[in-house]
């Protein structure tokens, strides 16, 4: 029962009675968040002999790669595409998809290298955690976290179909993306003044057929064409064909100004993302010859979130360290993906490459090329991610992995992609 002050018809708060929360599981390591980052943390730890539990609020593992349809990974090669610099569980997962013949491998480029069906990855991640003997809690939300008398993280309180329960552990990995666990534990977090906007992706059918039937057809041009009243705000759209059929993942929406670590803003962003997807579909159907064959097949279970909270860690990775290829004595991963910053207000996006090139894509479709470093200077082949950027200040038994890493705007624009966050998860585990 809940206590309600009888003098208040519209109370500002409701008092819950104190209660004991049953412990439903005890383990060595709890991983909060079942994205690929979180799965790799769990699998790495379990293979080293730890008893591991993963908590995931959705009904499948894989996070952005599966539930949000961002089913492309960037190259594991250096910036010159000459030698591999990334391995571990990222490479193993790609090998598993390759063996099942569900992986498209394009020639390596700054844009992408690998494409896979989201559902196939979700199934493979199920197999990986089962093989490693990991306890998985799906449809479970981390509602609170508990410290012991010494100030160390001691338990996570979850809420799932069985109620409110506790999982105790010796160590914790926050792979929630939003830094939920470190925030609940009271460790310092920060939110950037200018957040990169989230994108709702969609699976559609008929793009290949439209290209064959309509000469010069470009989804990008139609969606942002101001002559149509329903046109989206000028931006950046790309799509990738999935293995086996005329099915494309399309990423063209932007929800500017949304902080998806806030419940109200997350709800509004989900609805706005779907509205923009519907506008794209309707534009093609109504204004392109043969557009009636253009079909929306699936909406994501969750909007693709680029940035929310960052943990304040022992070291904040800086853009200059990324672009100059700084070597760290505590490096836990390498990266070659470019700095990629989407404007928070819709002005466009900027790419900065390790070879000194810079590309600025304006919101109205213009493309400007310049240099941030003279062509005469030597360029690094890759950059590194230090362990210190995964260690929250004041935390003894908690690590972060994924997009809640401590990095400034430019560095975060490079390390936030999944081939990099996957290495963070592997290292944390």
| Helix, coil or strand: residue 70 | coil
Distance CA 366, CA 191 (A): 30
Contacts of 382 (CB under 8 A, 6+ apart): 78, 79, 85, 325, 334, 335, 336, 354
191 φ, ψ (degrees, to nearest 5): -125, 125
By the 8 A CB rule, do 235 and 363 touch? Answer: yes
Half-sphere exposure (Cβ direction) of 412: Cα atoms closer than 13 Å: 25
What is the model's pLDDT at position 246?
A: 87
- Going across the sheet that includes 295-298, the strands are 238-241, 247-251, 201-205, 295-298
Check residue 3 and give its pLDDT. Answer: 57
Backbone angles phi, psi at 334, to 5 degrees: -115, 155
43 to 31, 81, 102: CA distances (angstroms): 10, 28, 22
CB 400 within 8 A of CB 311: yes
Question: How far does CA 52 lie from the centroid of its chain?
Answer: 22
DSSP structure class, residue 68: T
Residue whose structure tokens are 């002999």 = 49
Per-residue model confidence (pLDDT) at position 4: 53
Contact 246, 205 (CB under 8 A): yes
What span, in angstroms and rounded, lies between the C-alpha atoms of 255 and 269? Answer: 6
Mean pLDDT in order along the chain per 10 residues (429 residues): 56 89 98 98 98 98 98 97 98 98 96 96 98 98 96 97 98 98 98 96 94 87 92 91 92 96 98 97 91 94 98 98 98 98 89 96 85 93 98 97 98 98 98
Q: List Cβ neighbours of 378 (8 Å cut-off, separation of 6 or more).
A: none
């Amino acid at each position: 029962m809940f206590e309600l002050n009888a003098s208040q018809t519209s109370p500002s708060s409701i008092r819950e009675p104190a209660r004991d929360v049953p412990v439903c599981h005890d383990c060595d390591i709890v991983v909060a968040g079942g994205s690929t980052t979180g799965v790799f943390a769990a699998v790495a730890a379990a293979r080293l002999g730890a008893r591991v539990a993963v908590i995931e609020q959705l009904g499948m593992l894989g996070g952005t790669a599966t539930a949000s349809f961002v089913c492309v990974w960037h190259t594991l090669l250096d910036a010159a595409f000459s030698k591999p610099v990334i391995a571990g569980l990222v490479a193993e997962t790609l090998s598993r998809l390759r063996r099942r013949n569900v992986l498209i491998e394009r020639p390596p480029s700054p844009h992408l290298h690998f494409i896979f069906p989201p559902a196939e990855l979700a199934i493979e991640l199920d197999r990986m955690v089962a093989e490693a003997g990991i306890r998985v809690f799906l449809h479970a939300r981390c509602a609170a976290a508990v410290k012991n008398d010494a100030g160390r993280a001691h338990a996570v309180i979850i809420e799932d179909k069985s109620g409110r329960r506790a999982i105790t552990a010796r160590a914790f990995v926050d792979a929630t993306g939003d830094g939920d666990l470190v925030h609940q534990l009271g460790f310092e977090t920060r939110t950037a003044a200018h957040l990169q906007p989230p994108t709702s992706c969609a699976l559609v059918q008929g793009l290949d057929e439209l290209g064959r039937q309509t000469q010069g057809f470009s989804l990008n041009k139609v969606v942002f064409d101001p002559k149509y009243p329903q046109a989206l705000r000028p931006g950046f759209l790309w799509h990738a064909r999935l293995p086996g059929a005329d099915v494309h993942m399309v990423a063209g929406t932007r929800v500017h100004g949304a902080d998806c670590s806030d419940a109200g803003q997350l709800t509004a962003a989900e609805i706005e993302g779907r509205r923009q997807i519907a506008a794209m579909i309707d534009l093609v159907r109504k204004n392109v010859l043969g557009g009636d064959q253009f079909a929306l097949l699936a909406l994501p279970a969750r909007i693709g979130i680029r940035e929310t909270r960052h943990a304040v860690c022992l070291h904040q990775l800086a853009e200059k360290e990324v672009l100059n290829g700084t070597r760290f004595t505590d490096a836990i991963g390498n990266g070659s993906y470019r700095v990629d910053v989407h404007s928070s207000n819709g002005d466009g996006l900027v790419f900065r490459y390790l070879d000194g090139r810079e590309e600025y894509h304006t919101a109205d479709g213009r493309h400007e090329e310049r240099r941030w470093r003279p062509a005469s200077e030597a360029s690094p082949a890759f950059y590194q991610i230090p362990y210190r950027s995964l260690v929250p200040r004041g935390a003894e038994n908690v690590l972060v992995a994924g997009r809640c890493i401590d990095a400034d705007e430019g560095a975060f624009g490079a390390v936030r992609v999944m081939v990099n966050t996957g290495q963070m998860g592997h290292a944390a585990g």
